[in-house]
Amino acid sequence: MSKMQPGSDAVRHNLNVVSAALPPSLSACFHYQAFFYYDNCMNDKNYGILYPYYAVFNSSIMLFSLDMEDALLCRDKNMVQSFQSQFNRRLCHCREIICSGQSLPEPCKAAYTLGYSPCLIALSDPETAVLAFREDTKNLSTLLQPITKRLTAGLDPEAMHCHYFTEQGLIEFARTGFFMELPRSLSRPLAPRHRLALLDLLQKGCCLDRPVFGIVNTDAFRIPRCLSLTMARQDFSLLRRIGCADWDIISIQESGILMALDDFFSSLPGSPYVYTKAQALSILEHARKALLPESPEHACENR
């Protein structure tokens, strides 16, 4: 990996490395773990070497050409030991670039989320958060602890944070009442009055001088339903929905990736990827209208 400074010529190198490592890291067919160390990756020390890449096995090594078109299998004991020693020395100074099965980063003074649906569980009061879980959910108090922490940080007016979501995800919540960030196996739909209260919270957040919510224009920037990103000061987590039920969480803590993502989130306000404040408020009003016809409670309250 490249230890980068802003404006570096290698600005995309670390992103390319993560892009290549993510698919096998997320595969359910085999176990793959990528490690990294810092070096001058743009200075090709392997220029002129016929087989610069290698794979280490217990009793053999496989050497690969620069273009990965040719390979050479070697079983010489001395060669194998030499490559194994070289590999182990580097591994001692490496860190995992992608960590699976991690928890969400702790709330802090700088946090962003980007997903298909708004992260409403973190904006709910504790009573509403309880209502989002099935009554037979085990260890509910344990599940609510990190949510309560994120609620406190999410409503802190001094915190530098912003949550981005799509219009489609917002309308879906208004109509169904399910929090997409919760496993469907543990959740139940909120009553319409609780959905309206959360839509009011979103509306207030969009009206602030420095909005803490933004609605993504999916015509300009598509967000898959199955992915959600959370970025804190020292951590970046990617949530991937497995099938239709649960989430898999991976964590990336490499500074170059965090730097690139921080630049990305900082550039979103005012960009064509995000609707203006007036457009966002109009979309929120549309979400309220999508909910009201299905809300007999609201109809009774207004008679």
Closest C-alpha to 80, from 57, 109, 101:
57
Q: How confident is the model at residue 134 (pLDDT cuts 50, 70, 90)?
A: confident
Over range 160-180, report the average pLDDT: 88
Distances (CA, A) of 302 to 170, 174, 176, 294: 24, 19, 22, 14
Both structure tokens of 222? 């598509």
pLDDT digits (tens, 9 = 90+) for 262-271: 888 889 988 9
Q: How confident is the model at residue 98 (pLDDT cuts 50, 70, 90)?
A: confident
pLDDT(162) > 80: yes
pLDDT(253) > 90: no
Over range 38-49, report the average pLDDT: 60
pLDDT digits (tens, 9 = 90+) for 178-205: 888 777 778 899 999 999 999 998 888 8
This prediction has a pTM of 0.72
DSSP string, 187-227: B-PPPHHHHHHHHHHHHHHHHSSS-SEEEE-TTTS---TTE
Q: What radius of gyration, in Å, describes the C-alpha atoms of the chain?
A: 24
Residues in the chain: 303
Instruction: Please tell me the distance from the alpha carbon of residue 45 to that of residue 52, in angstroms, as a whole number.
Output: 9
Query: Between these two residues, 245 and 85, which has the higher pLDDT value?
Result: 85
Instruction: Please tell me the distance from the alpha carbon of residue 150 to that of residue 102, in angstroms, as a whole number.
Output: 16
* Beta strands 213-216; 99-100: pairing state: unpaired
